[in-house]
Amino acid sequence: MTIEVNNGVRSRNYRWNILVLIFALFIAGCSGNNKNTEERRESHAGAQVSPVVQGVPQEKDNLLEQYRQTVQNAKEPFEIVSFLNENMSKAGQERADTMIRELNAYYNNDLERTQDAFFENNVQEVLLQQQWPITASNAAEIQDAAVKQLVITKLMGGYKLIMVEGTIYPIIDFELQKVYKNYVSQQMNDYIFLRAVESNEVSAKDAGLIITWDKLANRAVLSENYIKTYPNSAERPEIEQLYLNSYLSMYIYGLNNTPVFDMETYRLLSEVKASYQKLVKEHPETVTAQIVSQFLDVLATTDEQVYKRINGKQMDIRAVKQFHERFQAKAEELLGA
């Protein structure tokens, strides 16, 4: 079984799929530079969140209702972010978690609209002439007034810009949500941390892995641990999809431009094998390690060949194909309900 990836077609479906390909989301190719992170945090509308204020339940319920009205009427996410920065301290932990969930639900609904805005008129042409990366610190240098307003509005609303195959896309900048850490639950903080790991330094772009195999393994373990720690959380389905369909799948399959096997011999690459063995040694109790260990066992019977060549064509090996067809279901089973 081989991985199906995009062929570079610039359609709306392609643009959507390329984001989904890299982690539910938000495929992202940008720097995790700490300085840029700080600049983005400073630019986040009203990023100075007020100290915690204790309120009575009725006041908190009224606040949540006001928030939902704001979300319903918002034309841009910065309106919601501004409300959160002014009022999160009064919400109480449970309602604060709800507010973050509803913010991210808004983003999920808004992302395609925001993405499409970057493909209108001359937006791409203007942005590709700018110094990269484009952040709050240099967005004001954009000469085209309409494009500058678009970029600043989206950055204020909690997006960041990434470049994929020479095209600029907006994604959700989860790093900015860490400003609410004192108001939300540990479960929500861990969710934001996990998502920020990806938005700060994306795992892949242009159909290739851009972090190390060990980092990819660590992200798989991180998401697995979240699922185990918070089995009943509202975020579990999302993180489970991230784990099964992104991190674990990429770790087993690789990507078209970064396969786990040598393109000439079809044998498992030595650096991938070393990462697998390191994972199994350091995290033997994890589902990820169990799946990887099973893969190594299968490859031990095939002389470490992931595929075979017949008449010049790449062909499946039965044992490997069977493993590929079953490992996600097995991982899901091991994770439990």
pLDDT in tens, 126-140: 999 999 999 999 999
Query: Which of 158, 183, 206 delimits the end of a domain?
Result: 206
Look at residue 224 and tell me if it is in a domain: no
Picking from 52, 79, 58, the residue whose alpha carbon sits closest to that of residue 68 is 79
Kindly report the length of the chain.
Answer: 337
Look at residue 211 and tell me if it is in a domain: no
pLDDT, tens digit, 9 for 90 and up, residues 231-242 = 999 999 999 999
Q: Do 48 and 148 belong to one domain?
A: yes
Distance CA 207, CA 65 (A): 43
Q: Do 173 and 304 belong to one domain?
A: no
For residues 23 and 174, the answer to whether their CB atoms sit within 8 Å is no
pLDDT at 238: 97
Spell 237-269 as b/e; 16+ CB within 10 A means b.
Answer: ebbbebbbebbbbbbbbbbeebbbbeeeebbbb
Decide the pairing of beta strands 313-316 and 307-310.
antiparallel
Distance CA 147, CA 88 (A): 31
User: Can you list the positions of beta strands (E) in 24-73?
Assistant: none
Q: Choose between 209 and 41: higher pLDDT.
A: 209
Look at residue 219 and tell me if it is in a domain: no
For 53, the domain range is 12-206
pTM as predicted = 0.83
Q: Do 120 and 189 belong to one domain?
A: yes
Distance CA 218, CA 213 (A): 9
Q: Provide the CA 306 distance to its chain's centre, in angstroms.
A: 28
Q: Do 55 and 124 belong to one domain?
A: yes
**Using CA of residue 8, residue 211, residue 243, residue 226, what is the dihedral sign?**
negative
- Least confident interval from 39-48, 122-131, 145-154: 39-48
Q: Do 169 and 29 belong to one domain?
A: yes
Q: Do 113 and 170 belong to one domain?
A: yes
Q: State which amino acid sits at residue 334.
A: L
Q: Do 73 and 182 belong to one domain?
A: yes
Look at residue 32 and tell me if it is in a domain: yes
- Total domains in the chain come to 2
pLDDT-derived band at 3, boundaries 50, 70, 90: very low
pLDDT at 54: 54
pLDDT at 56: 60
Say which residue the tokens 């990366």 belong to.
Answer: 133
Q: Do 249 and 190 belong to one domain?
A: no
**Residue 162: helix, strand or coil by DSSP?**
strand
pLDDT at 13: 46
pLDDT at 311: 93
Picking from 196, 228, 217, 230, the residue whose alpha carbon sits closest to that of residue 276 is 217
pLDDT at 74: 98
Q: Do 189 and 261 belong to one domain?
A: no
Look at residue 145 and tell me if it is in a domain: yes
Taking 90 as the threshold, does the pLDDT of residue 10 lie above it? Answer: no
Q: Do 254 and 180 belong to one domain?
A: no
Which residues, in sequence order, are bridge partners of residue 163?
A: 168
Distance CA 89, CA 182 (A): 8
Look at residue 277 and tell me if it is in a domain: yes
Q: Do 122 and 177 belong to one domain?
A: yes
Look at residue 283 and tell me if it is in a domain: yes
Picking from 146, 83, 72, 147, the residue whose alpha carbon sits closest to that of residue 110 is 72
Query: Which of 206, 229, 252 delimits the end of a domain?
Result: 206
Which residues, in sequence order, are bridge partners of residue 204?
A: 209
Q: Do 148 and 266 belong to one domain?
A: no
Look at residue 232 and tell me if it is in a domain: no
Q: What angle do CA 40, 46, 48 make, to 5 degrees?
A: 85
